Amino acid sequence: MFKKITTAMLTVGALLAQPAMAEPVERSLCVFDVVGRNGDTYQLMRDYVLAAKEWGVEFTMKPYTDEALVVADFRAGKCDAVELFGIKNRDLLRFPGSLDMMAALPSYDALHTAVAALSAENAASHMRQGDYETVGIIPGGMVYLFSHDRNRLADWEQLAGLKVTVLSDDEQAVEMIRYVGGSVLPASVSTFAGMFNNKSADLSYAPAFAYEALEMYKGLGEGGGILNYNLGILTFQINIHHERFPDDFGQKSRAWVFENMWEPGMRVVEQAESKIPKKYWVELDADSKEKYNEMFTAVRQNLYDADKVYDRKMQQMLKKIRCREVPDNAECSDVTEGGPAF
């Protein structure tokens, strides 16, 4: 009996000696989704919130349909964490925000390679800037050029004089439109589709989900088309005020997001792309595609020289990834964007 009591006491003592599990910290997560809480992105982020409990953080989600507002609230400290488009993230963290670079990656496989590199532990120092840290990247889909007149898309020189919607702070798009001789129409995420649909704009660039979610099929009508050329690949990026989170939160988050949210994100992208009728896609012949490639190479070089939009290290990394996949591109042997690719 004495032995049993002693054993029980030792067991209880051992349990009491163990450190108590820390209570999770409560933090806010502001989620941008053009559709709101019923949107695909918002639903994806629910899984992230569940995972974050394992890293000691209890998130309360708040949906936003206005990206400018969610950025303002994050800057003001009203959001401990935020999910937003990578192109918008350039204003907060230039290096990860530069991932959504114009025509920089030729495929989703190439994006996967880039996100894998950014999610690795040895990239952690590049994912912080001041008080901010990017703690996850999710694929958002290729960006395509929508036009009321499909016949204007085969050659970029035919875009001269046309009015193109541009998100108000998307400097890379402004540079591209000026290069081709088009007219910039300032817009926001909530207004650009309406401007295209009511024909106040001739052209608009958007990912595939905009076709249905933002009803851009209304603007395409019978004579419209979508250029089947990748103008860039959008990502959704997750930022935090890193001082408000456990020290190891950022790397745990980046690794988990890459391992667990890439495939669900791609399923959403592929579903959206499959909903666009084949009749709208405008294919380029080899010569026309090469002309587009050369135009975007020149635009990216202008932005590299200006050193005001993209992070140069990111620009160099994406060129190397791009040229591994399409080594025959003329730029791959030229000294552009910081040097040759090989």
Tens digit of each residue's pLDDT (9 = 90 or more) over 75-94: 999 999 999 999 999 999 99
Q: Are domains 24-140+234-274 and 143-232+282-333 of this chain identical in fold?
A: yes
Q: Is the dihedral of CA 266, 272, 275, 277 positive or negative?
A: negative
Domain 143-232+282-333 fold is D-Maltodextrin-Binding Protein; domain 2 (3.40.190)
Residue 32: name the closest of 70, 81, 61 by CA. Answer: 70
> How does pLDDT run along the chain (342 residues), one tens digit per residue?
444 444 444 444 444 444 445 688 999 999 999 999 999 999 999 999 999 999 999 999 999 999 999 999 999 999 999 999 999 999 999 999 999 999 999 999 999 999 999 999 999 999 999 999 999 999 999 999 999 999 999 999 999 999 999 986 788 999 999 999 999 999 988 899 999 999 999 999 999 999 999 999 999 999 999 999 999 999 999 999 999 999 999 999 999 999 999 999 999 999 999 999 999 999 999 999 999 999 999 999 999 999 989 999 999 999 999 999 999 888 998 888 887 665
DSSP code at position 164: E
| Residue extents of the structural domains in the chain | 24-140+234-274, 143-232+282-333
Pairing mode, if any, of strands 132-147 and 128-129? antiparallel
Interatomic CA distance for residues 9 and 178, integer angstroms? 79
Tens digit of each residue's pLDDT (9 = 90 or more) over 122-178: 999 999 999 999 999 999 999 999 999 999 999 999 999 999 999 867 889 999 999
The neighbour count for residue 285, using CB atoms within 10 Å, is 9
Domain 24-140+234-274 fold is D-Maltodextrin-Binding Protein; domain 2 (3.40.190)
Tokens of 335: 């000294």
Interatomic CA distance for residues 340 and 51, integer angstroms? 41
The 3-state DSSP class for residue 76 equals coil
